[in-house]
Amino acid sequence: MMTIVTHVHVKEGAEPEWDAAMRQRLEAAREKPGWVAAQLMLPLDNLSKRIIVGTWQTRADWEAWHSDEAFTETRKRLEGLESGPPEHWWHEVILDSKR
């Protein structure tokens, strides 16, 4: 499995609209091949920052998702609400422990 961690800075005041668009995107991703899990996080020390943690079976599954219509539609909405380009970090999952 592969996990991607993305840091996004949202324009001040646009947080509710950005969150709604991202919820829609993550809900659509649930149905895609290779999707495992996702988390959307809000750092308590920076209310205009968002962190997305997405886990996919393969990076190719994640890349295929980026050409999906649901992804491209939300990309247009989200880009206008962000104050800069997102930052990404890839990780290979070596242990997945859940309750």
CATH code (residue 28): 3.30.70.100
| pTM assigned to the model | 0.91
> How many domains, the chain?
1
Residue 7 belongs to a domain: yes
Residue 63 belongs to a domain: yes
Residue 97 belongs to a domain: no
How would residue 76 be classed by pLDDT, with cut points 50, 70 and 90? confident
Residue 12 belongs to a domain: yes
Q: Which domain holds residue 37?
A: 2-50+58-92
pLDDT tens per residue, range 40-70: 999 999 999 999 999 999 999 999 999 988 8
Cβ–Cβ < 8 Å for 83, 33 = no
Residue 98 belongs to a domain: no
Q: What angle do CA 63, 88, 92 make, to 5 degrees?
A: 70
Residue 35 belongs to a domain: yes
CA–CA distance, 94 with 56 (Å, rounded to integer): 13
